[in-house]
């Protein structure tokens, strides 16, 4: 099965400023590739078995 890749910007980094679409994608992702600029609170939204790279 082919998956989908979404590019989601975290905006200024405040979790309260994420778009609803970004929030839903982060909550449902199987894997998240991120850089050092991401707010750790945003990563905490990911499901427990999500692979963080």
Residue 11: per-residue pLDDT: 77
Structure tokens at 24: 């839903």
Boundaries of domain holding 37: 15-52
- If you count them, how many residues does the chain have? 53
Q: How many domains does the structure of the chain reveal?
A: 1
pLDDT band at 48 (very low <50, low <70, confident <90, very high): very high
What residues does 51 pair with on adjacent strands? 31
Residue 43 lies in a domain: yes
Residue 37 lies in a domain: yes
Residue 43: per-residue pLDDT: 94
Cα Dmax for the chain: 34
pTM: 0.85
Residue 48 lies in a domain: yes
Look at residues 37, 35, 32, 27 and name the one whose alpha carbon lies nearest to residue 51.
32
Q: pLDDT tens digits for 1-38? A: 788 999 988 778 888 899 999 999 999 999 999 998 89
Q: Is 51 helix (H, G, I), strand (E, B) or coil?
A: strand
């Amino acid at each position: 099965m082919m998956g989908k890749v979404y590019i989601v910007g975290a905006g200024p980094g405040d979790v309260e400023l994420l778009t609803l679409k970004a929030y839903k994608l982060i909550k449902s992702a199987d894997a998240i590739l991120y850089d050092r600029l991401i707010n750790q609170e945003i990563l905490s939204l990911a499901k427990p078995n999500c692979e963080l790279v």
